[in-house]
Structure 1
Amino acid sequence: MTSATRQPQNPASPALSASFGPNGGPVVRPRLIATDLDGTLLRDDKSVSPRTVAALAAAEKAGVEVFFVTGRPARWMDVVSDHVHGHGLAICGNGAAVVDLHGGPGAHRFVKVRELARENALDAVRRLRDAAPGTVYAVEQTYGFHQEPDYPQLHMEVPDELAPAEDLLAADGPGAAEPVLKILAYHPTLDPDAFLTLARVAIADRAGVTRSSPSALLEISGPEVSKASTLALCCAERGISHEEVVAFGDMPNDVEMLTWAGRSYAMGNAHPAVIAAASGQTVANNEDGVAVVIEQLLAEHY
């Protein structure tokens, strides 16, 4: 991985800043676009604009593969496959799973799973309970979703089971035969960034911790699992180097991916850490910032 903070480039225009290679020359021709969804590709109403649909289709027609790279679970991917006709693959759960969307809504297929070992998950839960009393948990699996009774109703569905996290993660717990993809940890009063820092110190190398929500909601995955590490595996399988990847994001769970990619863009609405990590900046998600850059890239290179 490269440094988590890049030196900002001079903007090419007030709305869109350019990205250059380490020697000041233009970045190589892109072969893969990796884009976050919420706050990035999707507008705030969770829609995909016609302009964005057209830009993604034009990229694929030019031979540029499109990957959706999100913290969402696989079952929340219909919002994309409905609107963009199943383009490419999705990296879900912040790198915990790779899902093929080509079957369309309701027919997603898991291509790769990078689970969080139950032993690590239990250790992370216990450490964070000690460090931040009042933390409550939910458990994401490949197909199941379970939560503690005091966990707030933050998500789109009713949980399959209500029980303490220690019971949910036990060897004989609900969905014991199913991989755990990530743990969600919520605190009702802590500042979101302070909670993230505290959790990373408390959990240490037992798991990876990040956040993508504006609230104090953390996402806990396997120790080596991130959007960047799973994207790197997928690119290696395709013979694509990181210099040939263009990435987009808006929240701390995108930072590693943006520093890894050869060219990366923070959205106009991005978290400050994301702006520092990216090599360029585009306009906000509600202004079709991803489409703006894709159109420019295709005009430059294809």
Structure 2
Amino acid sequence: MTSPTDSPLPARPRLIATDLDGTLLRDDKSVSDRTIAALKGAEEAGIEVFFVTGRPARWMDVVSEHVHGHGMAICANGAAVVDLHAGGELLKVRPLDRETALYVVQTLRAAAPGTAFAVEMTNGINYEPTYPPFLEDPGATVATAEKLLQEEYENFSGPVVKLLAQHPELTPDGFLTLARTAAGDRATITRSSPTALLEVSGLGVSKASTLALCCAERGVSSDEVVAFGDMPNDLEMLTWAGTSYAMGNAHPDVLAAASGRTVTNNEDGVAVVIEQILARL
């Protein structure tokens, strides 16, 4: 019988970096008892755990009650570093310049007519009338992206951490390719949704680049990091980390890029690997 995972394990990893949706979380957004125990075991073995997600800081309640030592989260695809032990305190923000965001909006409106936008800021999200509404954010301002990106909005909404672009007809990968061709020289453009929903960050801002900054602050090298992910927004992180695992349910590009693979999120693929690491220690 073959092992449920496939990758050489590092001798002694110092940090585990894991995506949430489609990776650590099951499809019902729960954290299994097995995963909770594995995370706790990693911490007790001296391995730091980072949650690295496209989610905004305010949507971290899915894991906040399961936090032990692992209170660090990199949110919004690298645009924000959050301390979950301190009630979601923002430790670092890598914003998307409003002028750049406006350029991306105008460019995608021309390249892909029908695109609708949302603007994620440090204290909430606002979106256009044609954008699918966020039921989790009933207090959002609804207006055109051009209006939402005006400088006066920054006074009460904070810096822009992510621009979201949604198209009702294009395929997810087709929309991503089109957007990167049109505006990829000005911003980082990726996706994590199964729908044609793109996520736009400042140029050079990604899960990988922010994780690298956080690791450098701790004296942790990339070859001491084990990373897990499932979607294109995880690609840079998986190729940066010394050891990386694509989930069994991962996007084909992620399966090709990771150094190994584990079973699906619903089969606790992250926990399976952590248990193997702990058994070796």
- Distance in 1, matches of 2:78 and 2:233, equals 10
Gaps of 5+ in 2: none
**TM-score, normalised with respect to structure 1:** 0.90
Of 282, 286, 297, which aligns to 2:262? 282
2:210 corresponds to: 230
Shift of 1:31: 0.2
Q: Does 1:209 align with 2:192?
A: no
1:93 corresponds to: 76
Q: Does 1:197 align with 2:180?
A: no
Q: 1:195 and 1:114, CA in 2 relative to 1: closer, same or farther beyond 3 A? A: same
Shift of 1:176: 5.5
CA contact (8 A) 1:89 1:98 kept: yes
Shift of 1:157: 2.0
CA contact (8 A) 2:121 2:157 kept: no
- Distance in 2, matches of 1:140 and 1:160, equals 10
Shift of 1:154: 5.0
CA contact (8 A) 1:147 1:159 kept: no
- Distance in 2, matches of 1:251 and 1:65, equals 23
1:27-70 Cα distance to aligned partner (Å, 9 max, x none): 34100000000000000000000000000000000110000000
- Distance in 2, matches of 1:68 and 1:48, equals 13
2:20 corresponds to: 37
Q: SS at the partner of 1:247?
A: strand
Of 217, 220, 223, which aligns to 1:243? 223
Q: Does 1:78 align with 2:58?
A: no
CA contact (8 A) 1:80 1:86 kept: no
Q: SS at the partner of 2:85?
A: coil
CA contact (8 A) 2:118 2:127 kept: yes
- Distance in 1, matches of 2:178 and 2:71, equals 36
Shift of 1:247: 0.1
Of 37, 58, 62, which aligns to 2:45? 62
CA contact (8 A) 2:191 2:199 kept: yes
How many residues are paired up? 281
Q: Does 1:170 align with 2:150?
A: yes
Q: 1:227 and 1:155, CA in 2 relative to 1: closer, same or farther beyond 3 A? A: farther
Q: SS at the partner of 1:63?
A: coil
Shift of 1:153: 2.3
1:111-147 Cα distance to aligned partner (Å, 9 max, x none): 1000001011101111111110000000101112100
Question: Partner letter of residue 280 of structure 1?
Answer: G
Gaps of 5+ in 1: 1-11, 20-25
Q: Does 1:297 align with 2:277?
A: yes
1:205-261 Cα distance to aligned partner (Å, 9 max, x none): 211000000000000000010000000000000000000000000000000000000
- Distance in 2, matches of 1:231 and 1:155, equals 30
Shift of 1:13: 2.4
1:1-26 Cα distance to aligned partner (Å, 9 max, x none): xxxxxxxxxxx92521123xxxxxx6
Shift of 1:108: 1.1
